[in-house]
Amino acid sequence: MVRIIGVGSYAPETYITNEDFEKFMDTSDEWITERSGIKKRHISPPEITTSEIAYRASLRALDMAGISAEDLDLILVATSSPDSLTPSTACILSAKLGVKHKPCFDISAACPGFIYGVEIARGLLKTGDYKYILVVGVESGTKFIDWNDRSTAVLFGDAGGACILTQDETDRGILSTFISGDGYLAELLKIEVGTAYPVGSWGVRMKGREVFRNAVVQMGEAAIKALEKANLKPEEIDWLIPHQANLRIIEATRERLGLPREKVYVNIDEYGNTSAASIPVALEEMLDKGLLKDGNVVLCVSFGAGFTWGSLLMKW
Ligand code: UT7
């Protein structure tokens, strides 16, 4: 089966707490905690670019997989906050890793970008033309934040998570994946950087309430789709790893599946919304804490700008 054999993550050391925000913005720890579940978020300094976060996470993933960077056949980076529009962050990462003459490209699929990346990697590994693929979900998105907009500034954080995928003969690995999207709702959540926007007008723009409503529906739908594809029931899941955008969305997804709280991994309080990074970061944390055990059935589910959504069901 196609499976993840290495996981690594990295978050910048600097962070901002809700109390720090209270000092320069009309907001409160109480509002942020109640409405989102976030307590702090990591913020990358200028020299820690998206590719640098990806690089640090990737070294850890390679180490766990027991392979070297030269063994990689493809590098995929899912991000909404690339170092530059071109070259891709994946190309910049490949040079940092010392990889030469291997394909590398970025995936722009917002928060579920990591799941999109795994879906692509899985398909390519099945062709037999690739042995090891690196998939990174990484953001340094606080660099795009409009610090005068309290409705978005308090929500996002920087981090990266990397996974090495391969195909082997074990019965552990990816049981099913599901990805989808709806470009008709693109206006509801955007990072306004690109040819449609004048230079200097950067910022994350979000209609929070509408995004919330759609996220609740599609996170639940995506979770059920992956389970149906694998012919599994929610009670057969050991862990639900939801995208960490809002504790209330996580709760709604948990309720839709009828799962007890102890089966849901939550770290939004520590990281805020790290978009494409949230799921691989959670995977490494869970491994570090000894929570994720061989044979566990793990369902990852995510929703984000585009809109895009997706799910990934694995036997760990
Ligand atoms: O990762 C991609 C997917 N993203 C998401 O899934 C995010 C989805 N949306 C959300 O998580 C929530 O909608 C938010 C956390 C962004 C906002 O929570 P909400 O309960 O939907 O609040 P709201 O946007 O409806 O705003 C309620 C009030 C407003 O004041 P009025 O108009 O009722 O007077 C806002 O101006 O809260 C105000 N507000 C704030 N107050 C204190 C907005 N931001 C803040 C803030 N501090 N930081």
Radius of gyration of the chain (CA): 18
24/8 same-domain check:
yes
Ligand 1 pocket check for 151: Cβ under 6 Å? yes
Number of domains comprising the chain = 2
Alpha helix segments (H runs only) across the chain: 18-24, 29-36, 50-65, 89-97, 113-127, 150-153, 208-229, 247-257, 268-271, 278-288
pLDDT, one tens digit per residue, over 90-131 is 999 999 999 999 999 999 999 999 999 999 999 999 999 999
Going by C-alpha positions, the residue among 243, 251, 67 that lies closest to residue 159 is 243
pLDDT, one tens digit per residue, over 273-305 is 999 999 999 999 999 999 999 999 999 999 999
pLDDT, one tens digit per residue, over 197-256 is 998 888 899 999 999 999 999 999 999 999 999 999 999 999 999 999 999 999 999 999
pLDDT, one tens digit per residue, over 26-43 is 999 999 999 999 999 999
Report residue 295 as tokens.
């044979």
Active site residues: 111, 243, 273
CATH code where residue 244 lies: 3.40.47.10
Ligand 1 pocket check for 37: Cβ under 6 Å? no
pLDDT, one tens digit per residue, over 52-100 is 999 999 999 999 999 999 999 999 999 999 999 999 999 999 999 999 9
**Atom 24, ligand 1: residue with shortest CA distance:** 208
156/218 same-domain check:
no
Ligand 1 pocket check for 234: Cβ under 6 Å? no
pLDDT of residue 11: 98
Q: How far, in Å, is the centroid of ligand 1 from the Cα of 34?
A: 10
**Atom 18, ligand 1: residue with shortest CA distance:** 35
Domain end point (choices 140, 167, 194): 167
**Which three-class secondary structure state does DSSP give residue 165?**
strand
Query: 161: domain range?
Result: 2-167
207/243 same-domain check:
yes
Domain end point (choices 113, 142, 167): 167
Among 212, 301, 303, say which to mutate for ligand 1: greatest number of ligand atoms within 8 Å of CB: 212
82/135 same-domain check:
yes
65/22 same-domain check:
yes
154/229 same-domain check:
no
**Mean pLDDT over residues 118-145, rounded?**
97
214/271 same-domain check:
yes
Q: How far, in Å, is the centroid of ligand 1 from the Cα of 20?
A: 18
CA–CA gap between residue 165 and residue 186 (Å, rounded): 31
Domain end point (choices 145, 167, 189): 167
pLDDT of residue 203: 87
224/257 same-domain check:
yes
Query: Please, how many CA atoms are within 13 Å of residue 80, restricted to the half-sphere of its CB?
Result: 30
Alpha helix segments (H runs only) across 128-207: 150-153
Ligand 1 pocket check for 109: Cβ under 6 Å? no
Ligand 1 pocket check for 207: Cβ under 6 Å? no
**Does residue 189 register a pLDDT over 90?**
yes
